[in-house]
A and B are shown apart, each in its own frame.
Chain A
Amino acid sequence: AQSVTQPDIHITVSEGASLELRCNYSYGATPYLFWYVQSPGQGLQLLLKYFSGDTLVQGIKGFEAEFKRSQSSFNLRKPSVHWSDAAEYFCAVAPEGSNYQLIWGAGTKLIIKP
């Protein structure tokens, strides 16, 4: 069955430090890949997406993600986190032809230390 794994439930990072959130998916072909962010008490907002082409994609708020086909991974990175980045981050995949029916990871909660 198709699945998305975010192995880290929580990650704590100092303000100004770099960040990498991991995402692995299980799917035969290359799906469409997404990262969403959920601030406390809010809905989810799209950070970035990968459909095809350049495997390093840039998103909003200074985030980027790299698709690695050989590792079935789509990890999210940011060079220097800010206190406002504290939120929960969700990786999602939509198998090609699924009409964007997303399969979601369980989420990673990012905690920022001052």
Chain B
Amino acid sequence: NAGVTQTPKFQVLKTGQSMTLQCAQDMNHNSMYWYRQDPGMGLRLIYYSASEGTTDKGEVPNGYNVSRLNKREFSLRLESAAPSQTSVYFCASSEPGGGTGELFFGEGSRLTVL
């Protein structure tokens, strides 16, 4: 059981380049999330998708776009990368409502923007 799988694990970009982070979960969860983690700041929510077909902005959505491709997959796109987007990105999934509230995380994608 793979859980939540993120690709790529590492990426180096130049300022202005674009890229997409991919995330897939095999737990049949309805909700999926993209977080960024920066030292001393905990996790900050970028976007989330409560269910297939819906996406909503989180705390720090500027500079990012997302696509909920189907129930399994939720991608995060940086259209024009900036050094401030250097971070570790985590995808997570959960079963809301009657679920336990537990988030299941991928192993993270470390992005460096030069």
Residue positions of A touching B, CB distance < 8 A: 4, 9, 32, 34, 36, 41-46, 49, 51, 90, 94, 99-102, 104-107
Contact = CB atoms under 8 A, between A and B. Distances in A.
B90 interface: yes
Nearest to B101: A100
Contact of B96 (A42, A43, A51, A100): A100
A4 B31 CA distance: 23
Interface of B: 4, 31, 40-45, 48, 50, 58, 90, 92, 94, 96-97, 99-103, 105-108
B40 A106 contact: yes
A101 B40 contact: no
B42 A105 contact: yes
B41 A99 contact: no
Given A46-B103, A51-B101, A102-B103, A90 B42 contact: yes
A49 B107 CA distance: 21
Contacts of A90: 42-43
Contacts of A46: 102-103
A94 B96 CA distance: 12
A42 B107 contact: yes
Contacts of B94: 100
B65 to A, nearest CB: 20
Contacts of A43: 4, 90, 92, 105-108
